[in-house]
Chains A and B, each alone.
Chain A
């Protein structure tokens, strides 16, 4: 079809091979948006206007291979080039340099419902969408019942698609796309749109395809899903390939960087925050008499000398919260407190020196408070920290809300906020199997 993309079906070659891939997008300068043929003809700049000018680099120097039957994850922030990569592999857009080789039929679950017409019934749209995705009428006939069953929209198939909810629309599009019998499935965040039941059905179908030896390339912001599903993963950042390999490693590296960036943001905020500044929820972030002040808060992960300042940690790791305080006048009534909550405000843990039984003597000049947890057993997720210094009766000297954020990861998924050490054991007629179907 094009110079940069070739499709073939040799047995031994990898399902996807990407070499030296670069993608530039043309920048839409303001004058471009109002460009007219009339002015182009008048200014005799027709050919110049049609040639490429300034470009933004969407992807730069991407190299990786995906073996047949592999589940390959792609993680990275918004604008990191994940979707561009998927579209290049799908052949929707062409590389500016480098090559993409794809062996076999590709189904791209990137944008669903291509060719859907709102005025036409779901049934007819299945045929149109199928045709756009490269199925013949006979092939669609044969799969029609499966498609309808998968979508769970049997009773709506004669309705025009304009009457569908957005969820129904996507479900139908997904059902058609996944029944095109692909060798390679490209999945981009679509699982997020359906309801719980549907996304489970999609995941089951993806796992089925993997068991059949199909290749799946999976882009998601749900890192736990990538970790759970993929054999390998690629971490993209700013269009550059940061890491390819074990999904755990790629995700941890990605999370580490995000957490560091957030940590910097929090620190930057904590430096510039003044009285009265408000958080995202409209509540003030800092208040108090400032007779004593919290100057900085840090999180150190690890034990003793190995502890380093980090904002990403494995559940159960040793962690130390470090608070720098300065007393603006000598105080003999003071309590240091800390509280950890989820971003939604679920309180996880809080304590203070008073509750812990410390009786205040004197606070003068600068000092450091360290709260050490030998094993911080929080469930995987994001957390925010409030820190305060106040009088015993609660009158705040300096109360700082959401002064610090950090992320907890774990190899296992779990519900809630607490993650005690645990393991499963079974007896009797309970059997388990490996992901490939073999018994354990």
Chain B
């Protein structure tokens, strides 16, 4: 696990070059360029606002305005899910690169996570704008504790990267990993408190327990605290995040390391 981390650190310049390659390639040739990064979250926010304030108005206690409540968990979720989906195929999609050069393989899933982290970063102005608009209309959203959000994101990086590493290595050997992942992510999305508050399930202790066992849940809760409520997450939540992230990193990096020898030839 340490070797993977050391390799990524040692080749950080190359990681950076490849990440900017991804970003440049994505926006090259589109008229809006980097503005697309802004347009996507803006569009998402707009759709949710329209749906939840015009089409139907859900009554979720402590989640008003609902659109802002949703996107505070949704933007990080989009980062997580696209990182995992792109990370999973990163080795097979870049088999040409692996075969052409002596290459630190772990960089490829890392690039997927990092480049999508940039997209999340580009979405922050949208979130900040939405919070300001919400406060202007008298909703008690956001606050100084919102500035802790990057810390939560950084804590989630080992979780996302660990999973991306492990999945990318598995995907080299099993062709259905991505399909399975797509389905699992759809399931996990509803098992993660993004569209609802976990307190709403106080009457269903078993369901609540299942949700708390979901590794993504503590992060979703933490984003609700910092972004939506403007509160500092409680210590138990921090501990939960650290544990989940650490375990995921160790497991993912260990699996990657075990399969390392086989990756270049099989990819």
With A111-B100, A133-B101 known to touch, is A37 a contact of B25 (CB < 8 Å)? no
- B209 in contact (CB, < 8 A): no
Q: Contacting A35 at CB < 8 Å: which of B13, B29, B97, B174?
A: B174
Q: In the assembled complex, how far is the CB of residue B176 from the closest CB belonging to chain A, in whole angstroms? A: 4
Measured between beta carbons, the chain A residues less than 8 angstroms from B176 are 36-38
- B14 in contact (CB, < 8 A): yes
Quick one: CB contact mask for A145-162 with B, threshold 8 Å, 1 for yes?
000000000000000100
Q: In the assembled complex, how far is the CB of residue A165 from the closest CB belonging to chain B, in whole angstroms? A: 18
- A117 in contact (CB, < 8 A): yes
Are A115 and B259 within 8 A (Cβ)? Answer: no
Are A49 and B173 within 8 A (Cβ)? Answer: yes
Task: Give the CA-CA distance A110 to B103 in the complex, in Å.
Answer: 14
Measured between beta carbons, the chain A residues less than 8 angstroms from B99 are 92, 111
- A204 in contact (CB, < 8 A): no
- B175 in contact (CB, < 8 A): yes
Are A136 and B174 within 8 A (Cβ)? Answer: no
- B266 in contact (CB, < 8 A): yes
Are A120 and B28 within 8 A (Cβ)? Answer: yes
Are B180 and A115 within 8 A (Cβ)? Answer: no
Q: In the assembled complex, how far is the CB of residue A140 from the closest CB belonging to chain B, in whole angstroms? A: 10
Are B173 and A50 within 8 A (Cβ)? Answer: yes
- A254 in contact (CB, < 8 A): no
Q: In the assembled complex, how far is the CB of residue A166 from the closest CB belonging to chain B, in whole angstroms? A: 14
Q: In the assembled complex, how far is the CB of residue B153 from the closest CB belonging to chain A, in whole angstroms? A: 26
Identity of the chain B residue whose Cβ is nearest the Cβ of A112 in the assembled complex = B100
Measured between beta carbons, the chain B residues less than 8 angstroms from A90 are 102
Chain B 29-45 residues near chain A, CB threshold 8 A: 29
- B145 in contact (CB, < 8 A): no
Measured between beta carbons, the chain B residues less than 8 angstroms from A26 are 265-266
With A93-B264, A111-B100, A131-B17 known to touch, is A34 a contact of B175 (CB < 8 Å)? yes
- A143 in contact (CB, < 8 A): no
- B188 in contact (CB, < 8 A): no
Are B13 and A136 within 8 A (Cβ)? Answer: yes
Q: Interface residue tally of chain A, by bracket?
A: 20 to 34
Q: In the assembled complex, how far is the CB of residue A208 from the closest CB belonging to chain B, in whole angstroms? A: 24
Q: In the assembled complex, how far is the CB of residue B110 from the closest CB belonging to chain A, in whole angstroms? A: 14
With A25-B265, A35-B175, A120-B25 known to touch, is A114 a contact of B97 (CB < 8 Å)? yes
Q: Contacting B14 at CB < 8 Å: which of A40, A119, A132?
A: A132
User: Of residues A26, A115, A120, A136, which shows the largest number of chain B Cβ atoms within 10 Å of its Cβ?
Assistant: A115
Are A91 and B102 within 8 A (Cβ)? Answer: yes
Measured between beta carbons, the chain A residues less than 8 angstroms from B18 are 115, 128, 131
Q: Contacting B29 at CB < 8 Å: which of A108, A113, A119?
A: A119
Measured between beta carbons, the chain B residues less than 8 angstroms from A50 are 173, 259, 262
- A273 in contact (CB, < 8 A): no
Q: Contacting B21 at CB < 8 Å: which of A91, A93, A120?
A: A120
Quick one: CB contact mask for A307-344 with B, threshold 8 Å, 1 for yes?
00000000000000000000000000000000000000
- A399 in contact (CB, < 8 A): no
Identity of the chain B residue whose Cβ is nearest the Cβ of A118 in the assembled complex = B25
Chain B 243-267 residues near chain A, CB threshold 8 A: 259, 261-262, 264-266
Quick one: CB contact mask for B170-181 with A, threshold 8 Å, 1 for yes?
100111110010
Interface contact tally, CB-CB below 8 A:
82
Are A110 and B17 within 8 A (Cβ)? Answer: no
Are B101 and A115 within 8 A (Cβ)? Answer: yes
Q: Contacting A37 at CB < 8 Å: which of B21, B100, B103, B177?
A: B177
Identity of the chain A residue whose Cβ is nearest the Cβ of B94 in the assembled complex = A115
Task: Give the CA-CA distance A136 to B11 in the complex, in Å.
Answer: 10
- B139 in contact (CB, < 8 A): no
Are B174 and A40 within 8 A (Cβ)? Answer: yes
Quick one: CB contact mask for B159-174 with A, threshold 8 Å, 1 for yes?
0000000000010011
Chain A 158-185 residues near chain B, CB threshold 8 A: 160
- A127 in contact (CB, < 8 A): yes
Q: In the assembled complex, how far is the CB of residue B137 from the closest CB belonging to chain A, in whole angstroms? A: 42
With A115-B97, A120-B25 known to touch, is A37 a contact of B13 (CB < 8 Å)? no
Quick one: CB contact mask for B70-98 with A, threshold 8 Å, 1 for yes?
00000000000000000000000000110
Q: In the assembled complex, how far is the CB of residue A92 from the closest CB belonging to chain B, in whole angstroms? A: 5
With A37-B170, A38-B176, A132-B14 known to touch, is A117 a contact of B21 (CB < 8 Å)? yes
Q: In the assembled complex, how far is the CB of residue A160 from the closest CB belonging to chain B, in whole angstroms? A: 7
Q: In the assembled complex, how far is the CB of residue A49 from the closest CB belonging to chain B, in whole angstroms? A: 7
Chain A 1-36 residues near chain B, CB threshold 8 A: 25-26, 34-36
- A94 in contact (CB, < 8 A): yes
Identity of the chain B residue whose Cβ is nearest the Cβ of A51 in the assembled complex = B262
Task: Give the CA-CA distance A237 to B14 in the complex, in Å.
Answer: 38
Task: Give the CA-CA distance A93 to B101 in the complex, in Å.
Answer: 10
Q: In the assembled complex, how far is the CB of residue B185 from the closest CB belonging to chain A, in whole angstroms? A: 15
Measured between beta carbons, the chain A residues less than 8 angstroms from B261 are 94
- A382 in contact (CB, < 8 A): no
- B24 in contact (CB, < 8 A): yes
- A137 in contact (CB, < 8 A): yes
Are A37 and B24 within 8 A (Cβ)? Answer: no
Task: Give the CA-CA distance A108 to B28 in the complex, in Å.
Answer: 30
16 pairs, CB–CB < 8 Å, chain A vs chain B: A26-B265, A26-B266, A35-B173, A37-B176, A38-B176, A93-B264, A110-B100, A112-B100, A114-B97, A115-B18, A115-B21, A132-B97, A133-B101, A137-B13, A160-B28, A160-B29
Additional A-B contacts beyond A37-B170, A131-B13, A131-B17 (10; CB < 8 A):
A36-B176, A92-B102, A108-B102, A115-B97, A117-B24, A120-B28, A132-B17, A132-B97, A136-B13, A160-B29
- Sorted from nearest, which 7 A-B pairs have the closest CB atoms? A114-B100, A37-B174, A114-B101, A111-B100, A36-B176, A131-B17, A119-B25
